[in-house]
Structure 1
Amino acid sequence: MTSYESTGHLLLTPVDREAPARAVRLRELGLGERTDGELDGWARQVAETLDVPSAGVNFVGEERQFFAGLHHAATAPQSAYPARVLARDHGYCPHVVVRGRALALEDVCDFARFAGNAVVDGSGVRSYLGAPLTDRHGTVLGTLCAVDVVPRRWGTEGLATVKALAAELSDLLGAREDRPR
């Protein structure tokens, strides 16, 4: 179903009714508020595996997104996802979180909903691949994502790869929960 504002304009970011519960869950897990070297390593692994200049482990709260894990290749343009914090209405990860399914955009400019996004205009991201990070209770906490500044074909192999890595990271986050604090 397509969502529209009362003005009749297409909503670029989907309505997220689960955001308050997700924010509570992220606080319980101690995620989404600080950088994490291990998650930076996961982002680097995604970037290297998918051969992209930038990748991230992103937790989506009620008002913002926080990249607890972030990697930019030395050759990456400075503009591709330069910050660890984005407004919730920027980027593509909120779509993955609300859908609860992976999203592959070979060229974000091919889609009116995504082409007008501030991430495209401000950072030059042209291609996006993301998969949900889900806790053991079924709450989608955020995404594992890869971006490029040029259009690219992800194919079924790229989609399967990011989904497998996201499932593995989700398991790791669950194991962290089991550790004594």
Structure 2
Amino acid sequence: MRQMQYGPLRVFFGSSIEGLSRGDVAPATAIKSGAILAPYVAHQVEAGVTVDAGMFGLTFSAFQSTRPIGELSPQRVFAQTREQRVSRREFSVYGEITPQARILGGLALLDGVLTRTALAANVGQVPIGVPRVQLNFGAEWDLPGVPGLHPDRRRHRYRTPVRRYGQHRGAAGLGAPRSRPA
């Protein structure tokens, strides 16, 4: 991760990272049900800015990640033939509203798309499990008379439901096609 501080309040940051993850597991309908695919490498780049005003702060960031995923062919062969790309723009705010209470909130806009599949008709579809909007809010407070105890509450909302593999809508268990600007 690279950071560049511009004045006492602003920090610009950027990163590029690769992550190794366990391969997907073949569904029950596959010829080799339960087989685990080889581990895969996911790639992510991110850039953003944080403004810290002491008791309050704001962050804006954008990232894009790509990763291969398993796909069940019409012949019921499960293989790592799909790739998904997710772009995200995120805005968050945090701060201390009193010396005993702190807040955190944010809005993220996501755009997920299948960039490679075994069936050309699936390219451009929305991957399962990628909501379009995420909202979150959290609060934490110090209990009087109990030093070090900080109860908190978190709320998360998603604009589109996260679907599980196997809950089919469209071809090969993919989400609904999304129209793309030309």
TM-score of the two chains, using structure 1 as the length reference: 0.25
Pick 1 or 2: higher relative contact order, CA cutoff 8 A, min separation 6: 1
TM-score of the two chains, using structure 2 as the length reference: 0.24
Of Structure 1 and Structure 2, the greater strand share is in 2
Structure number with larger C-alpha Rg: 2
Of Structure 1 and Structure 2, the greater helix share is in 1
